[in-house]
Amino acid sequence: MLHEDFADPSFSAAVIGWQKTHGRHALPWQNTRDAYLIWLSEIMLQQTQVSAVLGYYARFLERFPTLRELAAAPVEDVMAQWSGLGYYTRARNLHRCAQQVVAQYDGVFPSDPALLAELPGIGRSTAAAISAFSSGTRAAIMDGNVKRVFARVFGIDTFPGEKKTEQAMWRRAEALLPASGIESYTQGLMDMGATLCTRSSPDCARCPMQQRCVAHLTQRTKDLPVRKPKKAAPEKHATLLLIVDKGEVLLEQRPASGIWGGLLSLPELDGHHLAEDDEEQPAIDQTALVRAMQPFGEMESQERLMTVTHVFTHYKLHIAPLLITLARRAPLAGEARYQWLDAGRVADAALPAPVKKLLLELLGDEANSQARMF
C-alpha cells in the first residue's frame, strides 16, 4: 500500500542518479544475484562498517564458499571465523539460518521478503535488502543509514527509535520506492548514509539532497537525527584466570547464550570483583582461588595483571586478569567445557576480541612461533 502523503518520485530519481555516478560499485558482494553472498554481507554489515567487514568477508567465504558448506560446518568453526567481528549472536544465527535454508528451502533463499524475515537473524530491513539485490524485489529498507538520511532530508525531529516515529519512517520508505531501479535506489540510500550523510561532518556540498534537505537548509545537521536520551552506562567487573602451563593456556567454552556466547574464553573467578581503582583492589580470596583451581592443578605462582576495559554497546566490562602458572597439571576428566590450547593457536581460536588481544600481548612471539615463554 502506497501512502500518497509521502510519495515523491523525484526523491528516488535523485538517489538512483547519484548512485549510478557516485555510489559504490566495486564491493565484493556487489554485481551478483547470489543470495548467499548478499545475505552474508548484509549480516556482517549489521552494526559494523564496511572497512571492518571486508577482510572477514573474504576469509569467511574462503572457509565456507557455499551455503551448504556453512550449514554442514561445526558451529565452533563458524565462531572461529567470526572471532573479533563482534555481536556474536549474528554468527550463531548465521549458522542456524544456513541450516534452515538447506532443510526448508533445499539450499535456495526464498525471494519473498516476508519469508526471509522469518529466518534466524534476518529482520525486516535485511530481508528487503537481500530480496532487492538478489531478485529485484520492490521492498523498503530501514537501517541506521536510511533513518539518518530520512531524518535530515525530511526534518524528522523525534527520536527514530520511538515506535510512532519508526512506523512513520517505514510508511515513508514504502511510499518512496521507485517503480524501477530498486537495486540502485537501495544501494544509493546505503551509500549516501555511509559516505555523505554521516553522523559527524556530513558532506552536504556533494549531496544530491542538498536543495531539499530540511536539516541542511535550517542548519540542523548536527541536531538530526534526534539522539536517544543518554543513560549512564553500567559497569561490570570480572577476574579472569589466565592459567598457563608448558606453552599452553587453559580455556573455557562459554554457554551459547549471554556474553560471548559459544566462544572460548578464560575461566572466571566467581564472586571476585575488582574495585574501581586498581590500586585499591581487594586481595584475592586465596581460599576461593584454591577451590577454583582444584580441577586444573596445583598452583606454582600467581600475578595480578593490569586491568583491561572493554566497552560493549550497553555497558563497560573491566577485566582483571590473574596470571597463574602450575606446578602440576591435573587431568581434565569430566570437565568437557575446558581445554588446553597451544599458544601458537591463539590467533586462530574462537576467542572474544579483548581476550584474544590480551593473550597475544602476553604470550608475545609464542602465540606465533610457539616458542616457550613460561
Which amino acid, one-letter code, is at 343? A
pTM: 0.74
Architecture of domain 235-369: Alpha-Beta Complex (3.90)
Query: Can you read off the three cell numbers belonging to residue 244?
Result: 598457563
Would you state the pLDDT for residue 365?
55
Give the pLDDT of residue 281. 53
Q: Which of 4, 42, 118, 235 is catalytic?
A: 42
Q: Report H helices in the chain.
A: 9-22, 35-44, 50-63, 67-72, 75-82, 89-105, 113-116, 124-135, 144-153, 163-175, 182-191, 214-217, 286-293, 353-363, 366-369
Q: What is the pLDDT of residue 129?
A: 98
| Residue 272 φ then ψ, to 5° | -115, 120
How far is 206 from 203, CA to CA, in rounded Å? 6
For domain 9-217, is the CATH number 1.10.340.30? yes
Per-residue pLDDT, 283: 72
In this prediction, residue 313 carries a pLDDT of: 83
The full set of domain ranges for the chain reads 9-217, 235-369
d(CA 138, CA 178): 8
Give which of 342, 337, 340 is closest to 363, Cα–Cα. Answer: 342
CA 21 to CA 69: how far, in whole Å? 37
Q: Would you call 42 a catalytic residue per the annotation? A: yes
Q: How far is CA 55 from CA 58, 60, 61, in A?
A: 5, 9, 10
Please state, in angstroms and rounded to a whole number, the distance separating the CA atoms of residues 96 and 256: 13
Which residues does the chain have with pLDDT short of 70? 1-4, 271-282, 364-374
